[in-house]
Amino acid sequence: MKQFFYFLSAFAFAFFTLDAEAFEQIDSTKSTRKKIARADEITITALRQPEKALEVPLAITVIPKSFFENSRGFGLDEALSLVPGALVQSRTGNQDVRVMIRGFGARGAGERSNAGTSRGIRFYIDGIPETEPDGRTAFDLIDLNGATSIEVLRSNASALWGNAAGGVVSINTIPDLDRPYLSLQAQFGSFGFQKHSLRAGTTTDIGKVYVSVNNTMFDGYRAQSRSLLTQFYVGILSNLSAKTRLNTFITGASNNFQVPGPLTQAQFDTNPQQAQGDPAVYSPTYIERNERRFNRLGRIGTTFEHEFDGNNSLSAMAFLQTKYLQRSERNTFRDFNRYHTGGNLIYRNTTRFGESVQAKFLVGGDIQYQDGAILFYNLVNGQRGTTLRDNKREGAQNLGAFAQAEAMIGEHVSIIGGLRYDNIAYFSDSFINPKLNDARTFERLTPKLGITYRLTPLWTLYGNIGGGVEVPAGNETDPPSVFGEDTVRSINILLKPIESTTYEIGMKQIMLADDASLLSRLSYDLTLYQVDVLNDIIPYRGGRFYFTAGRSQRRGVEASVQAEFSGGLSLMAAATYSSNLFVDYRIDSVYVSRSLEGRFVSYANNKMPGIPDFFSTVRLRYQPTFLPQIFSEVEWRSVGSYFVNDANSLTAPSFSVIDGTIGFRQALIDEHLQLKAFLRGNNLFNAKYMASVWINPDTPANGQSPFIEPGLPFNYVVSIGAEWRF
C-alpha cells in the first residue's frame, strides 16, 4: 500500500507542478495542429475496426517495438511489463508464462493443464486467434522478434470478442518499411541461452512479402528446464485493387521444453535450481518421468477487406491449423493430433446524421472449431510405453454473433453500445470406455456501453460498463475422482461459466511542450475499475480438478505515465493497486476428500490467491541528443506479496528486481546498413524470489506443499545484429 501511495504522490506532484504555460494550448495555428496530429496518430485495431486510442472509452495500452526489442524476446513477460493491470510471470525463464489481467488468468498454473496457457484473455496475431475455442492459449507461435507492436485491451472485451472478460492481447507483425530489407541477429547469454533470428521483406507491385525465422536454445536455470524453440512466420500482403486487400499469413513452430515442477518452501530455501525430485512430494517425480511438452504446429490464415465506398466495408478472416502435441505428465504419456479452424465475417457502416452526429455500425460473427484424438499410454522411465490406456476424441466449438453502434456527437462526445451472443460447446468421446462419452454447452449474452468526453483533442474522460463471460477450458472440465465420477462422465457437471460485470472510469491525456521546455511530452492513463464476478473457477489439488466459487469482487486503480525530456531522457512507469476478495465462497469438503463428507468451509472475505495487491514497473532511458547512436536503460520491477491458496495460509513474498541495458545503433553506407548491439543484465542484484506459484497446491504426506516456481538469478544476454535496407 505504501508503494502505491508513493507512486501516486509522485505522479500527482509531477502533474500538478508542471508549468501549464509551457505546454501549447489547443488553437488553430498550423504548428499546433501538426503537433496534435502527431500525438493523436496512434490507431488501434483491437476493437475490430480502426479507432483512435484517445477516442475509445476503454483502457488500452499500445506497446511499440522500441519498448521490447532490447530483450531476449523469449517470453511475453519481457514485452508487457509496462502495461498497468497486467502481470506476466515467467515460470522457468522461457516462453512458458502466466498472463493475468485484473485477476483473470490468475488460476493458470498447475500440474494438470496449465503449463504454457492462459485463461480469460484472448490472444491474436494479425487478427488470427491464438486462443482456442475453449479459451486456452499456448504461446508457441508468438515471436517477439517479428512483432512490430502489441495492443493490450485491458477492459472487459466479451461484448466484441467473447470469452475475453480479462481483455485482448493483439500482436501485429506487419513491418512499416516501404523498401526491401534483410536483418540478422545473434544473441548469447546465461544458462546456455542462444537465439538466432532472420527477418527479411520486400515490396511487390501489389504489396509486401516478409519472413521471420527464429531458433532459440536455453539450457535453463533449473534442472529439468531445457527449451528448444524454432519459429517461422511468412506474411504476404496484397492490394488487389484500390479498395480490396488480401493478406495471407503462414506460421509454424516446434517447441520442446521440460517442466521442472514446483518446489516446497524447504526445497526453495535449500536449492532453488533443483527440479522436483522428492518422491515424498510426487511419485514418480518430475525428474523420473522427464516431465515435458513437445508441440509441433503450423497454420495458414487469410484476412480480406473490401471497401464498397467511403461508408461501407466488409472484412473476413479464415484459418486452418494443425497440431501434433506430446506430453509426459502425471505418469502418463499423451499423443495429441488436432486441427483448429475458424473465421469471421464483419460488416461496417458509417452514416452521418446532420452536421454534428456521425454513427458507426459494426455487425459480425465468429466461429472456431477444434477436434482431434488423444492417445493415453503408460510411462516407462520418462518414455512412452506400449500399453494404450485410452483413446479419446476431444473437441470444442465456439459460435458468436455481435453488433456494435458508435455515435460521435460533435467534437466532444462519443457513445458506444454493443451486444454479443456466445454458444460454446464441448464434447468428449472415449473409444475404449464409451461410458465416458459426454457433451456440454455454455451460452451467454453480454452487453457493453461506454461513453467518451474529449475535454480537448488530447484530453479524454471515459467510462464503461460491460458484461463478461469466461467458460472453463476443456482440460478444466475433468470431474473430481473422489466418488469415481470419471467412470460415469468426463465433463464436470459442477462447473458453470464465469459471469462478470465490469465498471470502469478513466482519463487519458497527452501534453506537448514547446521546443524550449525541459519536458517536451507527457502522456498518462489513469483508470479505476470494479469487477463483480459470479462463479469464479478455482483449481484444486494443483489443478487436478476445478470448482466454481460463489461471488468475488475485484477493485483496482491502474496508472501509467510516459515523459520525454529534452536531452534524450525519458521515463516510463506503470503501477497497479487492487483489492480482490471472495464475497461468497462455501466449499463442500467432500469433493476434496471423501473422509470430509458433511463438512463445509467458508472462505468469504478471504483474498483471492495469485493476485498481488500491488505491482509496478519504472523504466528510465537515456539516449543523448549529442550522441544518439548509444542508449542506456534501467528498469525496476516490483511485485507485492500475495496468497497462494484460498485459505490464505500460504504466501508468496514480495520482491523487486532491477534490470539494465546498454546498446548502440549506427547507420552506415548512406543509411542502407544499420549495425546494432546491446548488453542486458537481468536481476542485477541477484534477488532470490518466487517468479510464479501453483494455486491451491497439494499437501503431500510430509506436509510440505509444492507451489514455488523460482525466478532467474542474475543473468545476461549479448545481442549483435545488422540490417540492410536496399
Look at residues 302, 429, 332, 423 and name the one whose alpha carbon lies nearest to residue 371.
429
Angle, alpha carbons 717-719-724 (nearest 5°): 165
Beta strand segments in 95-177, E:
97-101, 122-125, 128-129, 149-153, 168-172
Residue 418: C-alpha distances to residues 6, 46, 446 (Å): 38, 15, 8
CATH label of the domain that carries residue 612: 2.40.170.20
Measured CA to CA, the distance from residue 201 to residue 250 in angstroms comes to 14
Supply the pLDDT for residue 182: 96
The total number of structural domains in the chain stands at 1
Model pLDDT, residue 22: 42
pLDDT recorded at residue 702: 76
Residue in 81, 48, 72 with CA at minimum distance from that of residue 170? 48
* Predicted pLDDT of residue 537: 79
Q: If we measure between CA atoms, which residue out of 180, 185, 200 comes closest to residue 69? A: 185
Give dist(CA 511, CA 318) in Å, integer: 41
| Closest C-alpha among 604, 651, 724, 630 to residue 199 | 724
Q: List C-alpha distances in Å: 474 to 486, 557, 576.
A: 15, 32, 31
What's the distance, CA 53 to chain centroid? Answer: 19
- φ/ψ region of 21 (left if φ > 0, alpha if ψ in -120 to 50, else beta) reads alpha
Structural domain range at position 257: 2-725
Write down the residue that cell numbers 474522460 correspond to: 461
pLDDT of residue 435: 80
Grid cell for residue 50: 480502426
Q: Which residues of the chain have pLDDT under 50?
A: 1, 3-34, 36-37, 113-116, 484-487
Q: How far, in Å, CA of 47 to CA of 155, rounded?
A: 11
Summarised one tens digit per residue, pLDDT across range 172-195 is 999 987 889 999 999 999 999 999
Q: Where do we find the cell 506503470?
A: 574
What are residue 510's phi and psi, to 5 degrees? -125, 130
The total number of residues written for the chain in this structure? 726
pLDDT, residue 345, reads: 97
